[in-house]
């Protein structure tokens, strides 16, 4: 069981004009077994929150704290955060030329567990994970994300999630660019991960369509770098009907 606790988090990004504040006091607690959805308009800071938790060097934490079971996450290196059980599925997965999917995943698994999985067993595990997201097994020998369609990249993220099996999965707009079939496949993968019972999910999205397949326990409305409102799944339905205008007007005033 794990608890991620974010308290009064302020984050800035470096620009040509200096430090630009993005997050302005985020408070959020995520416990094992919970699924949290963060929704908000473009530019509200949702992805900044994800990357700050993961340790992206572009973002500077100016104040506040992030702890995992009471341990300071912000003092950890990126690889240490992964070994502690944090996983980030990126909005725009990058290509890694010259590195096969199988080798990439085996290297990641070895780094997390401290022991390389046996090759024969690993090949079976990779094939099973690819089967589960309806990707051809030949993808295991292709270079990571090179020549992959948008949907294939997102399904490959779910393959990583299944094989690496972290404590907390942060999914940054995993639904973006997916057709309805790929959306269902990705959602099924997230649900398999969540249904273990002791895993947590932080799902960042603009739209409610993925929430038709992944039911969140909590929905948080993110505006102007902070949580403006939170509630249950019914809040997502209200956002679908009303949009973000009233939150934006409140932030402007």
Torsion of CA 129, 130, 133, 139, to 10 degrees: 150
pLDDT band at residue 247 using 50, 70 and 90 as cut-offs: confident
Across residues 170-188, what is the average pLDDT?
A: 93
Which of the two residues, 16 and 29, has the higher pLDDT score? Answer: 29
Which range of residues forms the domain containing residue 144? 3-252
DSSP E strands, 32-102 = 35-39, 59-68, 71-72, 86-89, 96-100
From CA 84, how far away is CA 166, in angstroms rounded?
Answer: 8
Which of the two residues, 15 and 107, has the higher pLDDT score? Answer: 107
pLDDT tens-digit readout, 197-211: 899 999 999 888 999
Q: How many residues does the chain have?
A: 253
Phi, psi of 45, rounded to the nearest 5 degrees = 105, 10
Question: Which pLDDT value is given to residue 207?
Answer: 84
Question: Which pLDDT value is given to residue 138?
Answer: 96
- pLDDT at 18 > cutoff 90: no
Q: How many domains are there within the chain?
A: 1
- pLDDT at 253 > cutoff 70: no
CATH of the domain at 7: 3.40.50.300
The answer to whether the beta carbons of residues 73 and 85 sit under 8 Å apart is no
The pTM of this model reads: 0.92
pLDDT band at residue 192 using 50, 70 and 90 as cut-offs: very high
Tokens 């339905």 correspond to what residue? Answer: 237
Phi, psi of 13, rounded to the nearest 5 degrees = -120, 145
């Amino acid at each position: 069981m794990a608890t991620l606790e974010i308290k009064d988090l302020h984050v800035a990004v470096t620009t040509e004009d200096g430090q630009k504040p993005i997050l302005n006091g985020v408070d959020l607690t995520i416990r094992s077994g919970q699924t949290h959805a963060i929704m908000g308009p473009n530019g509200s800071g949702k992805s900044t929150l994800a990357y700050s938790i993961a340790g992206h060097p572009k973002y500077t934490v100016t104040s506040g704290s992030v702890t995992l079971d009471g341990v300071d996450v912000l003092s950890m290196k990126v690889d240490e955060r992964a070994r502690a059980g944090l996983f980030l599925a990126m909005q725009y997965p990058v290509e890694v030329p010259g590195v096969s999917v199988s080798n990439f995943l085996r290297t990641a698994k070895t780094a997390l567990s401290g022991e390389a999985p046996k090759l024969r067993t690993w090949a079976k595990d990779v094939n099973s994970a690819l089967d589960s997201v309806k990707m051809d097994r030949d993808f295991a020998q292709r270079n990571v994300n090179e020549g992959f369609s948008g949907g294939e990249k997102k399904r490959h993220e779910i393959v990583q999630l299944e094989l690496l099996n972290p404590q907390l999965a942060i999914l940054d707009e995993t639904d973006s660019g997916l057709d309805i079939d790929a959306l269902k496949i990705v959602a099924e993968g997230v649900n398999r991960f969540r249904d273990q019972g002791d895993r947590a999910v932080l799902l960042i999205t603009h739209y409610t369509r993925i929430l038709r397949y992944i039911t969140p326990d909590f929905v948080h409305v993110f505006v102007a770098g902070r949580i403006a409102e939170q509630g249950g799944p019914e809040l997502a339905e209200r956002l679908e009907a009303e949009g973000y205008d009233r939150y934006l007007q409140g932030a402007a005033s």
